[in-house]
Chain A
Amino acid sequence: MLAPTPFGRVLLHLANLLVIAFLLLPIAAVTLGSLQAEKTLQADTRALLPPEWTLDNFRVILSGGEQRGAIFEQVTYLPDNVKKIRYAFTNSTVIALSVTFATLAMGSLSAWTIARLGYRWTRWLVNASLLARFVPVITLMIPLYVAFRHLGLLNSVVGVIIALTGFLLPYAILILAPYFDQIPKELEDAARIDGCSRFGAFLRVSLPLAAPALASCGALVFIISWNELLIPLILVNKAEFMTVPVVINSLVGDVHVFFNLMMAICLLALLPSVILVLLLQKFVVAGLQVGGVKG
């Protein structure tokens, strides 16, 4: 890029400020909303900053409604799903980690065969994965509900893990296959000369070398499964098996739950994936760039 003129620089800084403000607008809203009481929000409907700050919204959520704190003293109603939100955080963590592990394991097995074996049917698997990425979740949900109901997999963490893994495997294949393809085949050949089996060469040589792609893919899969609403929403209706997005969804339209409490739950819900994205920035960017397109 050519050096901008001084006037151009000012314009570019202003443009950046505008974009940053837009990007941070919802983050500011959720943070400010979660740090104040229902009363302060109602008392002045025009002020940006509250006169008093409080952590009571978080206290009531994290204690499952037992420690109410000053702002919830008068409150008699707290939805069951909020009282049991600890289950939701545990379920979401277990589900996201299991799905990430299962997707990486199965995905790298398939991706390696696509990159190395080059049969017509392994190439077909790439196209199938590409097409699968387009399938609307809502189209899958109706038959999955009927099928999982029949299999007795409704209201089960395992059911959600299976459904999410199947849904995310195409992403994993599309991210991992091009990466395995880039690893020089000679490295595997050398290992085979040394007495390694084909599978051994995959496991001991190519898989460790694919670590950056596994990190990219793992980060994306974790984030998508942590954030996913429709799949657990339709497969689960008991608080014990709900994930965090499902609990958030259950609060929509509940007139007795005020925005402050909802914002606090939203903030807790977005924290893990936001931290992951910021820590693994480089890998997330790489994963997004190859997952959608190649070349």
Chain B
Amino acid sequence: MAIRSEPVAAEALRRRGRRELAPGRLGLVMNLPTLLTMALVLAYPIGYAAWLSFHRVGPAQLRRGEFPWTGLDNYVRLFNDPLFILSLKNTFIFVAIVVVVEIVLAVAIGLLINQQRIWTSRITRVLILLPYAIPPIANGLIWSFLYSFQFGFLNRILFTLGVIDQPINWAGHPETALYAVTVPYIWRTLPFAVLLVHAALQGIGTELHEAAAVDGASTWQRFRHITLPLLLPIIVVILVLRTSFAFTVFEEIRAITQGGPGDATWVAAWYSYKKAFEPPNDIGLGAASAWVLALIVGALAIVYVKTIYRRVV
């Protein structure tokens, strides 16, 4: 291609300069739709939630459109409510189980689908994505069918295999219900963790492994001293992300146990939802509890942004 002569290019720039916005202004115009939508749906509600949590907001106040100031009353009631404390405790247990199990499974399955010479690994690699597509509420309902005491699919499998002779009430016992709801959540959120591990593994060359094998290192030693240290950064990422997302679990609880049996599976998001959107619609209290949840997750988010996420540009 012929190289343009300078005057022509300069002329093009000059002509265009007249009708073109300055970069700063162009940037602002191009970001206007995003900024407006994010302000309406994200920024404003976050602030408004904080504001609501200091006011009395119930059905009567909503009708009148006036929210009387109550100071810290919602927070005082919140932390004096044994149900809220229990919900927080249950949430912590739920998160701890989910995060630990998910990291172990993600590393194991990540290594498994990385096996190029094993043909079944290719099938796993395709199917691992499947749970990501399932609507969480449908996932919950499917697992409540699996867990069903009378008609459940899980009991049927165990009967057919001859493992049990009495049906098991998987999600119906107060001592075990919380553990039962971790499984569907882990099932649904596993693909994300596995894919992150899988991507990290592809960055690890074979040279180190081959050199270590020549020196007589066993498979376990190679995993322990080569693969695991190199996977550590991505494990930390999964740890922070999954911890913050699992804190807000809602759909599986809603579909499988609705907080029950008794109050064995009340978690933080369920508490906020029940208080705000079911009679007597204590929206102020709901907002306060949702803000406590946001603060816990926000602290993790700040750790993530400050220390783990590498700047895009």
Chain A residues with a Cβ under 8 A of chain B? 1-4, 8-9, 12-13, 15-17, 19-20, 22-30, 32-33, 41-42, 45-48, 105-107, 109-110, 112-115, 117-119, 122-123, 125-128, 130-147, 149-150, 162-163, 165-167, 169-170, 173-174, 177-178, 181, 192-199, 223, 226-227, 229-230, 234, 244-245, 248-249, 251-253, 259, 262-263, 266, 269-270, 273-274, 276-278, 281, 284-285, 288-289, 292-295
B142 touches A26 (CB 8 A): yes
Selected contact of A139 from candidates B15, B132, B293, CB within 8 Å: B293
Which residues of chain B come closer than 8 Å to A142, judged between CB atoms? 49, 52, 272, 276, 283, 286-287, 290
Segment from B82-90, B93-101, B192-200 that makes contact with A: B192-200
A193 in contact with B12 given A146-B62, A262-B141, A288-B132 (CB within 8 Å): yes
Residues of chain B contacted by A46 (CB below 8 angstroms): 155-156, 159-160
Q: Which residues of B contact A293 (CB under 8 A)?
A: 196, 234, 237, 308-310
In contact, B254 and A249 (Cβ under 8 angstroms)? yes
Q: Are B116 and A1 in contact (CB under 8 A)?
A: yes
Q: Are B41 and A274 in contact (CB under 8 A)?
A: no
Give B247-291 as 1s and 0s: 1 = Cβ < 8 Å from A's Cβ atoms.
110110011001000000000010011001100000100110011
Q: Which of A136, A199, A266 has the most CB of B within 10 A?
A: A136
In order of increasing CB-CB distance, the 5 nearest A-B pairs are: A166-B41, A134-B301, A16-B120, A143-B48, A227-B135
| Given A1-B114, A110-B31; A248-B156 close (CB under 8 Å) | no
B124 interface residue per 8 A CB criterion:
yes
- Chain A residues within an 8 Å CB radius of B72: none
Contacts of A146 in B (CB 8 A): 48, 52, 57, 62, 283
Q: Are B153 and A132 in contact (CB under 8 A)?
A: no
Contacting pair A270 B153 (CB below 8 A): no
Q: In whole angstroms, how far apart are the Cα atoms of A134 and B31 in the complex? A: 21
B residues at A contact (CB < 8 Å): 4, 9, 12-13, 15-16, 19-21, 23-24, 26-27, 30-31, 33-34, 37-38, 40-42, 44-46, 48-49, 52, 57, 62, 65, 108-109, 112, 114-118, 120-121, 123-124, 126-146, 148, 150-151, 153, 155-157, 159-160, 167, 184, 187, 191-192, 195-196, 199, 206, 209-210, 213, 219, 234, 237, 241, 244, 247-248, 250-251, 254-255, 258, 269, 272-273, 276-277, 283, 286-287, 290-291, 293-294, 297-298, 300-302, 304-305, 308-313
- Cβ-neighbour of A177 out of B124, B250, B305, B312 (below 8 A): B312
**In the assembled complex, how far is the CB of residue A267 from the closest CB belonging to chain B, in whole angstroms?**
8
Name the A residues within 8 Å of B195 (CB-CB). 285, 288-289
Complex formed: what's the CA distance from A292 to B41 in Å?
21
B16 — which chain A residues lie within 8 A by C-beta? 192, 195-197
User: Contact at A234–B42, with CB atoms within 8 Å?
Assistant: no
Which of chain B's residues has its CB closest to A112's CB? Answer: B30
Cα distance, A230 to B155, chains bound together (Å): 31
Do residues A266 and B153 form an inter-chain contact, with CB atoms below 8 A? no
Least distance between A67 CB and chain B CB atoms (Å): 24
Known: A19-B109, A136-B297, A288-B191. A130 touches B304 (CB 8 A): yes
- Cβ of B250 and Cβ of A138 under 8 Å apart? yes
A contact residues around B126 at 8 Å (CB): 278, 281
Could you tell me the distance between the alpha carbons of A216 and B76 in the complex, rounded to whole angstroms? 46
Tell me if A29 and B153 are in contact (CB < 8 A).
Answer: yes
Contact between B142 and A289 (Cβ–Cβ < 8 Å)? no
CB distance from A228 to the nearest CB of B (A): 8
Chain A residue nearest to B48 (CB atoms) is A143
**Contact among A4, A13, A263, A288 for B192, CB-based, below 8 A:** A288
Q: Which of A32, A263, A281 contacts B129 (CB 8 A)?
A: A281
Residues of B within 8 A of A252 (CB): 137, 140-141, 144, 254-255, 258
Which residue in chain B gives the minimum CB-CB distance to A179?
Answer: B312
Nearest-CB distance from B245 to chain A (Å)?
8
Q: What residue in chain B is nearest A266 (Cβ atoms)? A: B138
CB distance from A138 to the nearest CB of B (A): 4
Q: Which of B27, B62, B136 has a CB less than 8 Å from the CB of A117?
A: B27
Cα-based distance from A21 to B181 in the complex (angstroms): 19
Residue of B nearest to A44 (CB): B156
Bound CA–CA A113/B23 (angstroms): 9
B52 touching A170, Cβ below 8 Å:
no
Determine if B131 and A23 form an interchain contact, defined as CB atoms under 8 angstroms apart. yes
Expressed in whole angstroms, the Cα–Cα distance for A120 and B223 within the complex equals: 42
Pick from A110, A118, A143: contact of B45, CB under 8 Å: A143
Q: Are A136 and B138 interface neighbours, CB within 8 A?
A: no
Of the candidates A17, A130, A147, the one whose C-beta lies within 8 Å of that of B301 is A130
Contact between B134 and A270, CB atoms less than 8 A apart = yes
13 A–B pairs (Cβ distance < 8 Å), ordered by A? A1-B206, A3-B117, A15-B112, A20-B127, A23-B187, A46-B156, A167-B41, A178-B312, A192-B13, A197-B19, A262-B145, A270-B134, A288-B132
